[in-house]
Amino acid sequence: MWPQLAMLAVQGSAVWAVFTRYRRSPSLIRMPWLLLGLAVLMQVLWAGTNLLATELGDKSGYLAALATVLSGLYVIPCMFMVTRSFALNEPRAVAVLDLVLSCMVAVLVYQFFTKMLSGPLASDPSSIYVVVYLADAIDFSLAIMAMLRLFGGRSFRWRFFYYAASAYLLVNATVATIYNRIEMHGLPWWAGSLIDIPHALLVVVALRQPPRWLRAYRPSLAVSQTIASFAPILLSMMVVMLGISASRINFVLSLLVGCAAVLFYGLRMAFIQSRNMDRQRAVDLSTWRLEQQVGRDPLTGIANRTTLDTRLREALEEGHRTGSHCSVLMVDIDFFKQYNDSLGHIAGDACLIQVAGALSRSRVRVHDLVARYGGEEFAIVLVDTSAEAAQEVARRLIDTIERLQIAHPACPLGRITVSVGIATQTPQTPMDPVAVLDEADRALYRAKSNGRNRYELAMRTAFDPPAVLPGAG
Ligand SMILES: Nc1nc2c(ncn2[C@@H]2O[C@H](COP(=O)(O)OP(=O)(O)OP(=O)(O)O)[C@@H](O)[C@H]2O)c(=O)[nH]1
C-alpha cells in the first residue's frame, strides 16, 4: 500500500505544480494549463480508485468500472488541449464541436476497453494485446500532437506550455508502454515506481525555469499559423481511427462516429469561414469609408484635389483611347474675398457649402466629377463632352448659382455669382492634366477680366475645329 500512496503523492504534486503554473499565467494561456491539470487529476483519481479497489476488494466491479471511466475521461482534456487552435476570434460553436468530438473519443475508448476486457471477447487472449496497442497508439498520438504544437507555438508562453505537455505525454506514453508489456508477464516490485516518472517530471518542468533553447526558438508566423490551423483535424482523425478500431465490436456505431467526425470538421470549417467572411466584409467597408474620407473635401463633402487628379488623368486617358472629347470647367466664386470680409468666414464657409452642393446637383452625368480645387475654386470634369456641350453646361451652372440668390452686399449684382473657364481635350490634341487645368485657369482669368458672371473658352479650345455634333452635317 505504501508504494501506491507514494505514487498518489507524486501525482498530487504534479496536479499542484500544474495549477500553480495556471495561477501564474496570464488569462490567455490559462485554459490549456487548466486542461493539463484536469488530465493529471483524472490520472490521480484513476490511480486512487485502483488503490481503493485493491484495498477494499472490489467484488461488485464498480470501482474497476469507475477506473475505466476515469481513463476515458483523461482523454477529453488531453485531446482538447493538443488539438484546439485557441484562436481569439474563434466562434463559440467551434469550441462546442471540439468538445463534443473530444467526448466522442472518450466514449469510444471506454466502449472499446470495456467490450474487449469483459464479456465474450475477454476470453480471447489477443484482446488484451489489442487493448494495449490501442492505448499505446492513443498515448503516443497525444504526445506527437503536443510536440507538433510545441514547434508551432506562437509565443514563448505557448511554447512553454506545449513543452511541459509534450514532455509529460511522451514520458507517460513510454512508461505506459513498458509497464503494460511487463504487466503481461507479472509485475516486479519496482514496476509501480515507473508510473511516478512522468508526474515527477511534470512537477520539475512546470516549476523550473524553461530551457534557453525554448526562448531562442521562434517559428515563423506562417509555420505557427499553419500548425494551429492544422491541429483540429487531428481530433477528427482520432475519432475516425477509433471508429475503425471499434468496427469489429459495433459496426453501426463506428460508421456513425466516422461520419460525425467528418461532418463536425466540415461544420467547424463552415463556422470559421463564415466568421472570417463577416470580418472581411467589415474590413472592406471600413477601407471603403476611409478611401471615401481621404478623397473628400472636409468642408463641402465633395471630391477633393486628390480625387480630381486621379479622375482627371483617367478621363483624359479614356478620351484619348476612345477618341472622344473631355472638358474641364474651372468655376470660381466672384468677389469672394469681399463676401468674407463683409459677412465673416463662417458665412463664407456656408456659402462654399451651398455652391458646392448646387454644382454637384447640376452636374450632367454620373461619370462627371465636381471637386473643390482649392479656396473658392471648383473644377468639374465632363467626360465625353465637347467644347460646345461644355459651354452649355457652364451656362446652366452660372444660371443655377445666380438663382441660389445668396445675398452678397459687396458685389455689384447683390448676389453670389461665378465665373467659369473651359478647356477641352479633343481627339486631335491629347493633353495632360496639368495642361488642361492650366488652360481652364487662364480661361477663367479672362472670364474674370471680361466682367465676371460669365464663361470663357481656353484659347486653344476656341481655335480648335468644332467637334461634329450628332445629327450635324
Ligand atoms: N470662408 C472661407 N473662405 C475661403 C476659404 N478658402 C479661401 N477663402 C477665401 O476666398 C477668398 C479668395 O479671394 P480672391 O482670391 O482674392 O478672389 P475673389 O475675392 O473671389 O476675387 P475674384 O476671384 O477676382 O472675383 C480669400 O479671401 C480667401 O480667404 C474657405 O475655405 N472658407
Nearest CA to ligand 1 atom 31: 375
Q: Which atom of ligand 1 is nearest to the CA of 341?
A: 27
- For 230-288, how does the pLDDT look when each residue is reduced to its tens digit (9 = 90+)? 888 988 998 898 888 888 778 888 888 889 999 999 999 999 999 989 999 999 999 98
| Contact between 174 and 263 (Cβ < 8 Å) | no
| Dist. CA 339 → ligand 1 center (Å) | 8
Q: Which atom of ligand 1 is nearest to the CA of 349?
A: 1
Pocket test for ligand 1, best of 300, 331, 332, 336 (most atoms within 8 A of CB): 336
| Dist. CA 353 → ligand 1 center (Å) | 14
Question: Which residues are part of the catalytic machinery?
Answer: 376
| Contact between 313 and 430 (Cβ < 8 Å) | no
Which residues partner with 456 through β-bridges? 421
Q: Which atom of ligand 1 is nearest to the CA of 332?
A: 23
| Dist. CA 161 → ligand 1 center (Å) | 67
| Dist. CA 110 → ligand 1 center (Å) | 85
pLDDT number for residue 1: 66
| CA–CA distance, 461 with 444 (Å, rounded to integer) | 13
Grid cell at residue 416: 453670389
| CA–CA distance, 441 with 226 (Å, rounded to integer) | 58
Q: Which atom of ligand 1 is nearest to the CA of 351?
A: 1
pLDDT number for residue 460: 66
Pocket test for ligand 1, best of 305, 334, 337 (most atoms within 8 A of CB): 337
Q: What is the ipTM of this complex?
A: 0.94
Burial category of 97 from C-beta neighbours within 10 Å (exposed 0-12, middle 13-18, buried 19 and up) = buried
Which amino acids bring their CB within 6 angstroms of ligand 1?
299, 332-338, 340, 345, 348-349, 352, 375-376, 448
Nearest CA to ligand 1 atom 5: 375
CA distances in angstroms from 84 to 24, 31, 76, 90, listed in the order given? 21, 11, 12, 10
Pocket test for ligand 1, best of 372, 376, 401 (most atoms within 8 A of CB): 376
pLDDT number for residue 35: 95
| Dist. CA 342 → ligand 1 center (Å) | 12
| Dist. CA 145 → ligand 1 center (Å) | 71
Counted residue by residue, the chain has a size of 473
Contacts of 207 (CB under 8 A, 6+ apart): 17, 20, 21
Q: Which atom of ligand 1 is nearest to the CA of 348?
A: 1
Q: Which atom of ligand 1 is nearest to the CA of 338?
A: 19
| Contact between 231 and 84 (Cβ < 8 Å) | yes
| Dist. CA 376 → ligand 1 center (Å) | 5
Place of cell 452642393: 357
Helices (H) and strands (E) in the chain, counts: 17, 5
pLDDT number for residue 464: 54
What backbone torsions phi and psi does residue 332 show, to the nearest 5 degrees?
-130, 135
Contacts of 299 (CB under 8 A, 6+ apart): 349, 352, 353, 372
Nearest CA to ligand 1 atom 27: 337
Q: Which run of H or of E encompasses 439? A: helix 433-449
pLDDT number for residue 173: 94
Pocket test for ligand 1, best of 340, 349, 354, 378 (most atoms within 8 A of CB): 340
- For 417-431, how does the pLDDT look when each residue is reduced to its tens digit (9 = 90+)? 999 999 999 998 889
Question: Which DSSP string corresponds to 323-379?
Answer: T--EEEEEEEETTHHHHHHHH-HHHHHHHHHHHHHHHHHT-SSTT-EEEEEETTEEE
Nearest CA to ligand 1 atom 29: 337
| Dist. CA 347 → ligand 1 center (Å) | 12
**Which regions of the chain are under pLDDT 50?**
465-473
